[in-house]
Structure 1
Amino acid sequence: MRRFLPLLLLSLAACGDTDPRYLMASTPTAEITRTALRVATLEIRQVSLPAYANDDLILREEADGALTPIKGALWADTPARAMTQHLADRLSATTTAQVAAEPWPLARPAQAEVDVRVSQMASRTDGKLHLSGQFAVSSFDQVVRERIVPFAIAVPLSTDTPAGIAAASGQAVDRLAGQISVTLSR
């Protein structure tokens, strides 16, 4: 019995994780017209996030500038994976290209790749979620012009609760997808 007691306690501790988890929400795409891209296939590379933004904890900025976790609120998925998949899904729904997150699932390579590097993603005291950084478009066969494009997006928070931050995060990623599609439509 003594041998099994530590395993039982460990199992009970694992079952006690009841913190709510929040999805990065997306705005509906039913009324959006599809943008014609200059590529037929597009790969979204794994998004690079700063360490604080890639944690499971949902953070918000305090008056002193510190980013602190909201007690008992976690992301439903790892933020880098969620953002990568969200971008791929959004671009797939709003453009004419076949879009997938890496690793590319088809035998023939994608005509272009997008590599997003986020320098800042935070819920700030100004009542907005800020998302900034740059994305690079690469095309081995030069189907489109390669380039690096900076972005700076600010989305008003409906509330500074975890649900409000999750909704604003999704809207910010949707806007980033829109900027990427405009870049690839030229």
Structure 2
Amino acid sequence: MPIRHVLIVSLVALAGCAASPRYLIDPPAASVSVRTAAQSIMLRDVSLPDYASADKISVQDADGSVREVKSALWADLPPRAVTLALARQLDTALSATVAAAPWPLAGLPDAEIEVRVERNLAGSDGQFRLAGTFYVLSEIGRLGPESSGFDIAVPLAGTSPAEIAAAQSQALAKLAETIALSVGR
């Protein structure tokens, strides 16, 4: 094969690799508005399972195994994207100023929220599951339970990466609502 053909084939192959679509984690607008005793709250970096921290979108197969969706990537690193999306949701839902760690404002926040996710996955049962525990540490007195589990299921419209991203975004919006109602009064 002439070198020119080898170069053309190589360029076409490289172009195919670079064309993987990327999907956003972008929850809908907050659906609740809750007053809280805190004026400022810091959301620590959300802890995700290993498969959910990767830049590739994962799904669960019928046999229970977790695999990556071929040629589908998240638009941002999932821990960062989930943390920022959740902080934005909480900032809108609560009367307090909410920001992701590290704390970007002067002084110290009145409270901190830590979220540890155990499951963040499009399941073989047609549901996107977001499950784990969140913790609330308050310097101004009790804002609600110090810890609370969550297990959110959102129906998947399908198994395409766009449908998985949409379901995950809805699940994060529901988690923000759950946390807001927990720390509200």
Q: Tell me which interval the TM-score lies in, with the shorter structure as reference length.
A: 0.7 to 0.9
Q: Normalising by structure 1, what TM-score?
A: 0.87
Aligned match of 2:168: 169
Alpha-carbon distance, 1:33 to partner: 4.8
One-letter code aligned to 2:141: Q
Question: In the alignment, is the contact (CA less than 8 A) between 1:38 and 1:143 conserved in 2?
Answer: no
User: How far did 1:144 drift?
Assistant: 2.9
Q: 1:14: Cα distance to partner? A: 9.5
What is the alpha-carbon distance in structure 1 between the residues aligned to residue 15 and residue 53 of structure 2?
22
Task: Verify the 8 A CA contact 1:47 1:117 in the aligned structure 2.
Answer: yes
Q: In the aligned structure 1, how far is the partner of 2:78 from the partner of 2:144?
A: 29
Deviates most, 82-91 or 146-155:
146-155
CA distance in 2, matches of 1:54, 1:67: 13
Tell me if 1:28 matches 2:29.
Answer: yes
Give, in angstroms, the shift of residue 71 of structure 1: 0.9
1:47 & 1:120 partners in 2: Cα distance?
A: 12
- Aligned residue for 2:158, secondary structure, equals coil
Confirm whether residue 17 of structure 1 aligns to residue 8 of structure 2.
Answer: no
Give the whole-Å Cα distance in 2 for the aligned partners of 1:81 and 1:14.
28
Provide the C-alpha distance between the structure 2 equivalents of 1:171 and 1:22, rounded to a whole number of angstroms.
14
Runs of 4+ in 1 over 6 A off after TM superposition: none
| Aligned residue number for residue 4 of structure 1 | none
Q: List alignment gaps of at least 5 residues for structure 2.
A: 1-9
TM-score of the pair, normalised by structure 2: 0.87
1:41 — aligned with what?
40
* Separation in 1, partners of 2:163, 2:72: 12
Q: Structure 1 residue 68: deviation in Å?
A: 1.1
Task: Report if aligned partners of 1:88, 1:99 keep a CA contact under 8 Å in 2.
Answer: yes
List per-residue Cα deviations over 1:63-109 (Å, max 9, x = no partner): 11111111110001111111100011011112211110001111211
Identity of aligned residues (%): 40
Q: Report the counterpart of residue 142 of structure 1 in structure 2.
A: 141
Coordinate RMSD, CA, aligned: 2.0
Listed as ranges, the gaps of 5+ residues in structure 1 are 1-8
Aligned to 1:75: 74
